[in-house]
Amino acid sequence: MDIKTSKILVTGGASGMGRHFVLSLARDGADVAFCDLDAEAVAAVESEAVARGLAGRVKGFVANVAKEDDVVALVRDAGAALGGLTGIVNNAGIIRDGLLVKIDKATGAVVKFPLSKWQQVLDVNLTGVFLCAREFAAYAIENNVPQSVIISISSISRHGNQGQGNYSAAKAAIVADTALWAGELARYGIRTGAIAPGFTRTPILEGMPPEALAKVSAPVPLKRIGEPEEMYLTVKFIIENDYFTGRVIDVDGGLRLS
């Protein structure tokens, strides 16, 4: 697929890696639709795209990927705004970290991880990916799109990261579904791919104290955290390589979580 003629929808596109994906895709010639929850942040990305004179069009929407009606409307409206869709990047995600159980140091009581925090992460990070993939695939089939691609952002945490039981479960499931959907959707010309970033420079990491950031990067064989552009280059590879489907690419500097 030629990125210069592609029309891509990015979820969670107003901040972090998603914002970089939106602006980089448009820089390289793609028309891009994106969504986020914050209307002001969505407008800011649209304004930046105009100010930078990017080659591709950028159109933002306010939508919650965990809500079925929002996703149905998002895919429909994004397709109408761009005059079609040929790909989606399932990037939207949240974290609600905590141990399964722990002992409160002050009281000695056993504290359980709240079901609400488990469910919030599964709703956005997994159900959101399912809804967006389902609606995009239906759109591609109904509109006779000859070639299209579904890219989902997993994580190094899919191997299991202590304190991230909910996040790790969702990110592992994304990889499983990416492989499964490749077989189901190939007959319609729809490819799939997943990317599993390691620790990457985002506003969350940039807000960490230098000593904490150094502790994060120390176990990485390359001795640094990843850059959003390095993750974007992987997105671009999957879009452009028509023989790639059903696999996950780890972009983690060689780090392995135990």
What was the pLDDT predicted at 210? 83
Asked if 10 contacts 231 with a C-beta cutoff of 8 angstroms, the reply is: no
Residue 207 has what DSSP assignment?
A: T
The fold of 3-251 is Rossmann fold (3.40.50)
Residues of the chain by 3-state class (helix, strand, coil), percent to 5: 50, 20, 35
Q: Which two tokens stand for residue 7?
A: 């029309």
Which helix (H) or strand (E) is 17 found in, with range?
helix 16-27
What was the pLDDT predicted at 258? 65
Half-sphere exposure of 244 (CA within 13 A, CB side): 18
HEC readout, 144-177: CCCCEEEEEECCHHHHCCCCEHHHHHHHHHHHHH
Q: Could you tell me the maximum CA-CA distance found in the chain, to the nearest angstrom?
A: 62
Q: Which two tokens stand for residue 106?
A: 């002050």
Q: What is the mean pLDDT of each run of 10 residues along the chain (258 residues)?
A: 97 96 98 98 98 97 98 98 98 94 95 97 98 98 98 94 93 98 98 96 78 86 94 98 98 88
Is 167 part of the annotated catalytic residue set? yes
What was the pLDDT predicted at 232? 98
The one catalytic residue in 139, 167, 188, 232 is: 167
What was the pLDDT predicted at 216? 81
Dihedral sign for Cα atoms in the order 16, 2, 127, 111: negative
Asked if 248 contacts 194 with a C-beta cutoff of 8 angstroms, the reply is: yes
For helices 165-185 and 115-122, what crossing angle results, to 10°? 30
CA distance 111 to 154: 29
Domain layout of the chain by residue ranges:
3-251
Provide the residue count of the chain: 258
Cβ density class 164-183: b for 16+ within 10 Å, e for less: bbbbbbbbbbbbebbeebbe
Residues facing residue 88 across a β-bridge:
9, 150
